[in-house]
Amino acid sequence: PQNVTQDERGCLTVDGVDAHTLAREFGTPAYVLDEQDFRSRAAAFRDSFATAFGPVTGGADVYYAGKAFLCSAVARWVQEEGLGLDVCSGGELAVAQRVGFPGGRITLHGNNKSVAELRQAMEYAVGRVVVDSLTEIDLLACVAADLGVRAQVLLRVTVGVEAHTHEFIATAHEDQKFGFSLADGSAQRAVEAVLAHPDSLELRGLHSHIGSQIMDTTGFELAAQRLIQLHGQINQAHGIRLPELDLGGGFGIAHSPDDSPLTPAELARQLAAGVDREFERLGDDPRPRVSIEPGRAIVGPSTITLYEVGTIKDVTLEDGSTRTYVSVDGGMSDNIRPALYGADYTCVLANRVSDAALVRARVVGRHCESGDIVVRDTELPSDIAPGDLIAVAATGAYCRSLSSQYNHTPRPPVVAVRGGQARVIVRRETIEDILALDVG
């Protein structure tokens, strides 16, 4: 986060609240979220995209992707910062409803939405439903007709771009479950299917999302080009003017000193320039309004996870060198990303300064699996000891939201810090919470 400092005693402080206080008051492990950092990233996306796309498409709307991390407080901040919200389940939508998030500023995603979810969305008058299959187009038309409303629809298109990211989070190549293929004509057929229900469906535009944790903009620009070409073809073929174009999310964040993600302003400028060139080339006026859906790039850097060190063990490797295994009181239940995607994180000793030499270390969790790694490769002072605190950086996205109760481990709380004040926004789970589900 922006507001993290380490004082001369080595104590890490998040916007005025130090690690000792956080650990004492809230326990460990705990996710600690810098509210101001979250808000300023949200605002940076909002303003940069509005500025860069103003002259190109009359502006751009930013939807925060709640799958990265969502709770009531975050939904309120997103609303206050003037962003829209992207939800991908009835559960995420329920959070939005609970805080009265304006329905018109919500987009509903999902490749297998249930009838109940579609009804929930229509009853709450969500602004956009991104449809993902022919089955869903018919279902949504039925649900909307039944309720006497007209659903605003975006069509998810598979643009055939190989995003340079982990296989599990790349979503725009052909052989995966999302979207209508551009290559085999499915997208065109889906347009016809939507237009066949003029009373219950209104086609607002096309959508593409090529993957997540993507560092360079070439994939986004290529996807935008293909989407814009299809947009032009559809307008021409059907004599319509689709008013919107959604470029999805997926903007990467830094997890090591070698990563250098673009700032929201640079990203917005590059994308706007690419979009402008393509519209210019096709001469397709008037242009649709653009939207994007960043999740990770807004919430990822805002959060650290604070752990307490337990056991420490030196292991001799095949080449005779030593690796120090430092076990902490959480692990793959609160951050599955190293095990699932081979994701790299960085960490620091958060409670004191040490003059001891640095040793090669691996921070591991408390779970019954050797793949339960928190930080694969790091250096920590050789005098690291039980009771020390370790802070792992940039754990705001897809850590709490992908967390589990593996080994009957209650989930950590989320503590929001702002201007020297810390408060729990998601409470720690208890073993009683877990046992309460066990009714056999």
Sequence ranges of the binding site for substrate:
296, 337, 341, 369, 398
Grouping H, G, I as helix, E, B as strand and the rest as coil, residue 359 is strand
Q: 176: burial class by Cβ within 10 Å (0-12, 13-18, 19+)?
A: middle
- Name the residue nearer to ligand LLP (CB basis): 47 or 312: 47
- Name the residue nearer to ligand LLP (CB basis): 293 or 334: 293
d(CA 125, CA 107): 10
- Name the residue nearer to ligand LLP (CB basis): 92 or 388: 92
d(CA 96, CA 86): 10
Binding of residue 68 to ligand LLP (CB under 6 A)? yes
Name the minimum Å distance from CB 337 to ligand LLP.
5
- Name the residue nearer to ligand LLP (CB basis): 23 or 268: 268
Note whether 341 and 335 are within 8 A (CB): no
Note whether 8 and 353 are within 8 A (CB): yes
State the number of binding residues for ligand LLP (CB under 6 A): 23
| Tokens matching residue 56 | 């190109």
User: Which one of residues 45, 77, 124, 251 is an interface residue with ligand LLP (CB under 6 A)?
Assistant: 251
- Name the residue nearer to ligand LLP (CB basis): 288 or 295: 295
d(CA 32, CA 421): 12
How distant, in Å, are the alpha carbons of 50, 279, 307, 356, 426 from that of 57?
10, 9, 46, 57, 39
Binding of residue 296 to ligand LLP (CB under 6 A)? yes
Site string for ligand LLP, 376-415 (x = CB under 6 A): ---------------------xx---x-------------
Which residue numbers belong to the known binding site for pyridoxal 5'-phosphate?
A: 250, 293-296, 398
Active site residue ranges: 368
Site string for ligand LLP, 21-50 (x = CB under 6 A): ------------------------------
User: Which one of residues 22, 23, 62, 65 is an interface residue with ligand LLP (CB under 6 A)?
Assistant: 65
Looking at residues 180 to 219 of the shown chain, list those that interact with ligand LLP (rule: CB under 6 A): 209, 212-213
SS3 string, 262-309, reads CCHHHHHHHHHHHHHHHHHHHCCCCCCEEEECCCHHHHHHHEEEEEEE
Query: Given the DSSP bridges, would you call strands 17-18 and 421-426 parallel, antiparallel or unpaired?
Result: unpaired
Interacting residues toward ligand LLP by CB under 6 A: 65, 67-68, 86, 109, 169, 209, 212-213, 248-251, 293-297, 337, 341, 397-398, 402
